[in-house]
Structure 1
Amino acid sequence: MNEENNELLAALDAATDIKVGDVVKGEILVFDDQRQAIVGIEGTGVEGVIPAREYSSKPDADMTAELKVGDVLDLVVIRKIGSDKEGGSYLLSKKRLEARLAWDKIEKDHKPGDVLEVPVIQAVRGGLVVDAGVRGFIPASMIENRFVSDLNQYKGQTVRAQIVEIDPADNRLILSRRAVIDAERSEAIEKVFGTLNEGDVVEGKVARMTDFGAFVDLGGVDGLVHVSEISYDRVSKPADVLKAGETVKVKVLGLDKEKQRISLSIKQTQPGPWEKIATEAPEGTVLEGTVKRLTDFGAFVQVAAGVEGLVHISQISHKHVESPAEVLKSGETVKVKVLSVDPAAQRLSLSIKALEERPASEKKEDKQTDNKQASSSEIKNYTADEEEGFTIGDILGDDFSK
């Protein structure tokens, strides 16, 4: 009996040695109605409790499904529940012990400036929450080297981020993704500017678009394709003809390493419209085009992407036209005939009236003109053959004497 009392007193004395923060071993005795685990603290003769929220940092972890009675766990003491020794118990945590060990590992293995690959588990108002074995945080200003309006796009991604601050006492781990991007960009700039030359044609991916152009990734460095250099056709918005992630060929127009700017062109990698207009639309060709602009002296008609020709006011109609706007309107589709083409000067002369039947009065005038020209020609020919002995009267007959 005395021996049993001594064992009980020894167990009670051991319980007094349990302090908040101690690491203990606990054997699972039972799961209660609140899905908590009741454990016996090894070597103490007293019990402790593990609430479900203190089991794992994973929100979907189920302690009752993953553990069974008799399992022994390493746990950390959070606080004491109750005041008397015999009835007292302790609040224990497996999750906090794992976090403590993770903090110890991070502090031991890493220092500010090191780069970690971490999954983004949550996007909050001020930045991104990441899992580095412990809860880490990337402030919004340290995510990109530009403003980001929607942080939710990073949720579920694994990102590379540089450690800015480690403070295990305050559970504080601050990281910067921007620092990694800036470092990678500096390296890429040296590589790109060291290999690219003006006039080079290379491939890149459309990174993002604005109203004034598209930024193309050339391997960690973005170059700008101004909206005017996207196509020979008129482009109102880059998004109308391009999409993010699309692979495109671009020509390097300019390089400015000091300002880290690269000017690019997509349209200059494609055959120029004037290069093939002479073969595809020689003089006499009938084309369909769109009236683009009206002026006092005529109408400019687009017959191909980047190719506009002029229909002079005198070539709009057989009737007298005071102003092109009287008979044509911008956006109208018309058929035109090519009168002349000069690819070098990028000039194309067109006619609408050449495809219309001439009025009878104009035909009569033309016939009279042709007759007059024929008579003059005959007289000229006669003059040239004067030695043959023919007279003007012989040629014109009675009409001449009258």
Structure 2
Amino acid sequence: MRYQDIQWEDEDSGFTDDKSTKKAEVQDEVSFEDLLLQDASQDDEADIRVGRQVTGTISTISSHSDTVLVVLDALHTAVMDKNQIINDKGEMEFHVGDKITAYVITKNDDEILLSRRMGQSKNPLEDLLMARNSQLPVKGKVTGENKGGFEVTIMGKRAFCPVSQIDSKFVANKAEYMGQEFNFLIEKVEEGGRNVVVSRSKLLKREGEAKITELESRVDQDLILDGVVREVKDFGAFVDLGGFDGFMHVSEMSYARVNRASDYVQKGDKVRVKLLKIETTDDGKKRL
């Protein structure tokens, strides 16, 4: 029910007895409650995907099991193990009504499972294995380089990232990544955590595909996007839009005639572009 559909009593209709007044008040209260519920149900579904960090409110801490229920929004309630909210002294760090932030470990039709311990665990090896099995992104810092790639510190452990896996683009200068913090996917955990291999490019590809899927649903909305020119050809330029590329044809660069794209843009230029269309190639890839 919408606000304009609520029936108000005519002021000139005369006095009503107390029972009628109370009845009307109850009806109004129910009407507003229904209105709020309807508005909540019409909200866009929350972005609750595996690997995402989400924030919710603890609604239940079971005294009969190890289950903690966390309300994420009007449509989603997640489950967390009780040991996630207990410190080293056995004390509860969170209580019913508290806000809590955690990672989505698994999501299916029946259950959303959360974990707080990605990156702040008492058992880093266990978290590395969980991140690998669930393909969760984990933050790491590039601390060194070697012949084949980079040394990355993740959860206090040293990991290796091949140079081909540090970015979605060709790496011309390894020094620009030194000291930087990025999110990575755990590819391999062996020898009790002494051999850890990570990838950033696969995560960027996954995130880019998710963004393209979201853009497809809005392609008719005259979307304006910010990007950086990644490569320039005579016939156009490839623009990095944040994990995925779009192609800007030379004929779309200006109202005036542009003979060569290099006359108008250079590699590294920041540009603002309009999304015209998203095509699917013969091999199933998306092209902007």
Q: TM-score range by the shorter chain?
A: 0.3 to 0.5
Q: TM-score, normalising length from structure 1?
A: 0.35
Task: Choose 1 or 2 for highest CA Rg.
Answer: 1
Higher relative contact order (CA 8 A, sep 6+): 2
After TM superposition, the score normalised by the length of structure 2 is 0.48
